[in-house]
Structure 1
Amino acid sequence: MLSRRETLSTALKAVCGISASVASPLGTLLATPAAAQPPLRSPAEWTIPFGAALRDGPLADEPDYRAAIVKHCRQVVGEGGLKWFDLRPSRERFVFDQADKQLNFATGNGLELRGHTLVWYGAMPDWTKTIASAAEAERELVGHIETVMGRYRGRIKSWDVINEPIPDDPASRSDIRPSIWQQRLGESHIALALRAAARTDPAAKLIINEYDIEFVGDRFRRKRDAMLRLVRDLKLRNVPLHGIGLQGHLRGDLAIDREGLSAFVSEMRALGLEVLVTELDVVDDRLPAPPELRDMLVAARAYEFLQAIHAAARPTAVLTWGITDKYSWVPLWFKRGDGQPNRPLPLDEAYRPKPLMRVLEHFGQGPR
Structure 2
Amino acid sequence: MKFINLYLLAVTTILFVNCSSKQEVTTLKDAYKNDFYIGTALSADQIEEKNIKVDSLIQKEFNAITAENIMKSMFTHPQKDKYDFALSDKFVAYGEKNKMFIHGHTLIWHSQLAPWMEKIADSTEMKAFMKDHITTIVSKYKGRIKSWDVVNEALNEDGTLRKSVFLNTLGEQYLVDAFKLAEKADPKAELYYNDYNIEEPAKRAGAIALIKKIKEAGGKVDGVGIQGHWRLQSPSLEEIEKSILEYSALGIKVAFTELDITVLPNPWDLKGADVNQNFEGSAKMNPYPKTLPDSVQTQLAARYASIFKLFLKHKDKISRVTFWGVYDKQSWLNDWPIKGRTNYPLPFDVNLEHKPAYDSILKLKKTVE
What's the TM-score bracket when you normalise by the shorter of the two chains?
A: 0.7 to 0.9
Match of 2:122 in 1: 133
Offset, 1:269? 1.4
Match of 1:319 in 2: 322
Match of 2:362 in 1: 361
What SS does the aligned partner of 2:192 have?
Answer: strand
| Higher alpha-carbon Rg | 2
Offset, 1:103? 1.2
What SS does the aligned partner of 2:329 have?
Answer: coil
Offset, 1:358? 2.9
Residue 227 of structure 2 is aligned to residue 227 of structure 1? no
What SS does the aligned partner of 2:255 have?
Answer: strand
Residue 196 of structure 2 is aligned to residue 211 of structure 1? yes
Residue 75 of structure 2 is aligned to residue 86 of structure 1? yes
**Cα–Cα, structure 1 residues 145 and 351, in superposed 2: closer, same or farther, change >3 Å?**
same
Match of 1:286 in 2: 265
Offset, 1:39? 6.5
Q: Which runs of 5+ in 1 are unaligned?
A: 1-37, 215-219
Offset, 1:365? 8.2
Taking the aligned partners of 2:299 and 2:189, their CA distance within structure 1 comes to 37
Task: Kindly report which structure 2 residues correspond to 1:1-368, keeping only aligned pairs within 5 A, or say none.
Answer: 40-41=26-27, 43-46=29-32, 47=34, 48-60=36-48, 61-167=50-156, 169-170=157-158, 173=159, 175-214=160-199, 220-252=200-232, 254-286=233-265, 289=288, 290-312=292-314, 314=316, 315-334=318-337, 341-361=342-362
What SS does the aligned partner of 1:245 have?
Answer: strand
Match of 1:12 in 2: none
What SS does the aligned partner of 1:162 have?
Answer: strand
Instruction: Output the amino acid matched with 1:181.
Output: F
Instruction: Output the amino acid matched with 2:107.
Output: L
User: Cα RMSD between the aligned structures?
Assistant: 2.4
Offset, 1:336? 9.3
What SS does the aligned partner of 1:316 have?
Answer: strand
What SS does the aligned partner of 1:333 have?
Answer: coil
**Cα–Cα, structure 1 residues 95 and 41, in superposed 2: closer, same or farther, change >3 Å?**
closer
**Cα–Cα, structure 1 residues 84 and 42, in superposed 2: closer, same or farther, change >3 Å?**
closer
The percent identity for this pair of structures is 29
| Residues 83 and 116, structure 1, Cα contact 8 Å, conserved in 2 | yes
Offset, 1:58? 4.2
CA deviation vs aligned residue, 1:88-137 (integer Å, no higher than 9, x gap): 11100000011111111111122222100001110001101221211111
Q: Which runs of 5+ in 2 are unaligned?
A: 1-23, 267-286
TM-score (norm 1): 0.80
- Number of equivalences: 318
Instruction: Output the amino acid matched with 1:260.
Output: E
Offset, 1:305? 3.5
Taking the aligned partners of 1:225 and 1:285, their CA distance within structure 2 comes to 29
What SS does the aligned partner of 1:89 have?
Answer: coil
**Cα–Cα, structure 1 residues 39 and 201, in superposed 2: closer, same or farther, change >3 Å?**
closer
Instruction: Output the amino acid matched with 1:271.
Output: L
Taking the aligned partners of 2:338 and 2:344, their CA distance within structure 1 comes to 11
Match of 1:16 in 2: none
**Cα–Cα, structure 1 residues 42 and 328, in superposed 2: closer, same or farther, change >3 Å?**
closer
| Residues 77 and 114, structure 1, Cα contact 8 Å, conserved in 2 | yes
| Residues 52 and 77, structure 1, Cα contact 8 Å, conserved in 2 | yes
Offset, 1:307? 4.0
Taking the aligned partners of 1:270 and 1:364, their CA distance within structure 2 comes to 27
What SS does the aligned partner of 1:116 have?
Answer: strand
Instruction: Output the amino acid matched with 1:323.
Output: V
| Residues 176 and 218, structure 2, Cα contact 8 Å, conserved in 1 | no
Taking the aligned partners of 1:225 and 1:147, their CA distance within structure 2 comes to 33
Match of 1:11 in 2: none
**Cα–Cα, structure 1 residues 331 and 119, in superposed 2: closer, same or farther, change >3 Å?**
same
**Cα–Cα, structure 1 residues 154 and 295, in superposed 2: closer, same or farther, change >3 Å?**
same
Taking the aligned partners of 2:163 and 2:257, their CA distance within structure 1 comes to 23
CA deviation vs aligned residue, 1:313-363 (integer Å, no higher than 9, x gap): 5311111001111211011115599x7x32111111111111222344356
CA deviation vs aligned residue, 1:63-94 (integer Å, no higher than 9, x gap): 11111110101011111121101111110000
Taking the aligned partners of 2:326 and 2:62, their CA distance within structure 1 comes to 9
Deviates more, 1:44-53 or 1:186-195: 44-53
| Residues 50 and 364, structure 1, Cα contact 8 Å, conserved in 2 | no
Taking the aligned partners of 2:343 and 2:132, their CA distance within structure 1 comes to 40
Offset, 1:140? 0.3
